[in-house]
Amino acid sequence: MGFGDYPKEYNPAVHGPYDPARFYGKVDTPFAQLKLNEVGSWFSRRNKSPQAFSGACSRAFWRWQHKYMLPKRNTMAPFYQLVVAGMGFFYVINYGRIQQHKNAKYH
State how far the Cα of 39 lies from the Cα of 44, in Å rounded to an integer: 9
pLDDT digits (tens, 9 = 90+) for 25-77: 888 899 999 999 999 999 999 889 888 898 899 999 999 999 999 999 989 99
pLDDT digits (tens, 9 = 90+) for 1-33: 567 788 888 999 999 999 999 999 888 899 999
Buried b (16+ CB within 10 A) or exposed e, 7-46: beeeeeeeeeeeeeeeeeeeeeeeeeeeeeeeeeeeeeee
Rounded to two decimals, the pTM is: 0.74
Asked if residue 45 lies in contact with residue 28, where contact means CB atoms within 8 angstroms, the answer is: yes
